[in-house]
């Protein structure tokens, strides 16, 4: 509703003061309601120019291709969480219940979302799934073949049996800043690939992470710190995908992505899942993305799971207040990211 007010004011100002206005947007309604003429840009080039309704229709037609590819083929449970709790003791806040008796299953081949406002306990839960963080109580198991692996037990003989088939994209990801993109990618696969093969694999993976073929080729020799924040994020995603894990856990993968890149990442995640049957756990505050990509989502509040189900049945319960909180970047996140950055210098 705020957007509508702003739009009305913009139209009034332009009409009353005889002004010209140029605006950029990825929202079709904005283009349709506010503009007299529109252009569609792709890779820095004008691909369509003219009537806003027509331009927006073509734009949305590209965007809608995603939905049709979603083809649910889920199997037996592959991650099992029972009565999981995680308490932090904080000096100023006392006991923090980041996970409070949560239980859920993720099925093989499923794209499962964990959503909720900042501080709901999403990152904590995802790290426990990966065995990075020990829970205070409760059980977490990951299935490898027919065998259930207890993710609370450290060591290669224990959780290590599962983690070698798992990939984790951290919310505060990091690349080797003084290495090239290709080195960043191939160093994360321990196999000694011939260089040519490594390049081919890196290109395929960068494409899956939303880079165009030519762009992917161009950035291979570049240093990681020559990339923009958003590009680094997608290279970090590629670094996870190149290991071809069976289970991929991603913490806020779309944090820095523009809508078109997000769409191409959505499409390629759905495509690889269809082809290879991987299981994804996606932690996100991005409701559109989650709705588009997830088969099921769990909504978290104050460390608890309040509902699990199909996105359309769960996401409507997100309150207006939560949406506002979800969309505002919490200062601590920025601080953490800056801290991470200066550490690497």
Ligand X SMILES: Nc1ncnc2c1ncn2[C@@H]1O[C@H](COP(=O)(O)OP(=O)(O)O)[C@@H](O)[C@H]1O
Which residues here bind ligand X, judged by CB under 6 A?
A: 88, 90, 96, 98, 116, 118-124
User: Burial level of 257, CB count in 10 A (0-12/13-18/19+)?
Assistant: buried
Binding partner of 124, given Mg ion, ligand X, none, CB within 5-8 angstroms per partner class: ligand X
Distance CA 162, CA 154 (A): 11
Site for Mg ion in 273-302 (CB under 5 A): none
Binding partner of 96, given Mg ion, ligand X, none, CB within 5-8 angstroms per partner class: ligand X
Which of 335, 299, 345, 294 shows the shortest CA–CA distance to 318?
299
**Considering the complex, what minimum distance in angstroms separates the CB of residue 125 from ligand X?**
7
Which of 281, 295, 285, 284 shows the shortest CA–CA distance to 249?
281
Site for Mg ion in 93-152 (CB under 5 A): 123
**Considering the complex, what minimum distance in angstroms separates the CB of residue 88 from ligand X?**
3
Nearer to ligand X, 136 or 179 (CB): 136
Binding partner of 98, given ligand X, Mg ion, none, CB within 5-8 angstroms per partner class: ligand X
**Considering the complex, what minimum distance in angstroms separates the CB of residue 123 from ligand X?**
3
Q: Break the chain down into helix, strand, coil percent, rounded to 5.
A: 45, 25, 30
Nearer to Mg ion, 123 or 163 (CB): 123
DSSP structure string for 36-69 = SSEEEEETTEEEEEE-HHHHHHHHHHHHHHHHHT
- DSSP letter at 70? -
**Considering the complex, what minimum distance in angstroms separates the CB of residue 126 from Mg ion?**
8
**Considering the complex, what minimum distance in angstroms separates the CB of residue 234 from Mg ion?**
19
Site residues, Mg ion (CB under 5 A): 123
């Amino acid at each position: 509703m705020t957007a509508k007010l702003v739009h009305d004011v913009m139209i009034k100002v332009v009409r009353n003061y005889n002004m010209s206005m140029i605006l950029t947007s990825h929202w079709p309604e904005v283009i349709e309601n506010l503009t007299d003429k529109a252009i569609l840009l792709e890779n820095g080039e004008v691909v369509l120019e003219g009537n806003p309704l027509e331009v927006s229709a073509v734009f949305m037609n590209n965007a809608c291709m995603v939905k049709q590819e979603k083809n649910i083929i889920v199997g037996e449970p592959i991650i099992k969480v029972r009565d999981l709790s995680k308490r932090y003791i904080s000096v100023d806040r006392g006991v923090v219940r980041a996970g409070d008796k949560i239980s859920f299953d993720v099925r093989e081949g499923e794209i499962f979302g964990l959503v909720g406002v900042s501080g709901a306990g999403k990152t904590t839960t995802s790290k426990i799934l990966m065995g990075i963080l020990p829970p205070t109580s409760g059980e977490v198991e990951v299935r490898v073949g027919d065998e259930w692996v207890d993710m609370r037990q450290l060591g290669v003989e224990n959780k290590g049996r599962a983690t070698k088939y798992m990939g984790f994209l951290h919310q505060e990801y990091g690349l080797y800043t003084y290495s090239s993109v290709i080195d960043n990618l191939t160093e994360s696969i321990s196999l000694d690939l011939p260089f040519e093969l490594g390049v081919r694999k890196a290109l395929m993976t960068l494409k899956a992470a939303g880079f165009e073929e030519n762009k992917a080729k161009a950035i291979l020799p570049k240093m990681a710190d020559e990339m923009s924040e958003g590009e680094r994020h997608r290279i970090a995603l590629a670094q996870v995908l190149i290991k071809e894990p069976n289970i991929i856990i991603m913490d806020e993968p779309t944090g820095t992505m523009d809508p078109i890149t997000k769409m191409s990442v959505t499409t390629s995640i759905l495509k690889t899942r269809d082809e290879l049957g991987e299981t994804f756990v996606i932690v996100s505050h991005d409701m559109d993305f989650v709705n588009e990509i997830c088969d099921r989502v769990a909504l978290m509040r104050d460390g608890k799971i309040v509902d699990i189900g199909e996105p359309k049945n769960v996401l409507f319960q997100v309150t207006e207040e939560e949406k506002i909180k979800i969309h505002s970047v919490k200062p601590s996140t920025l601080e953490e990211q800056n801290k991470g950055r200066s550490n690497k210098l």
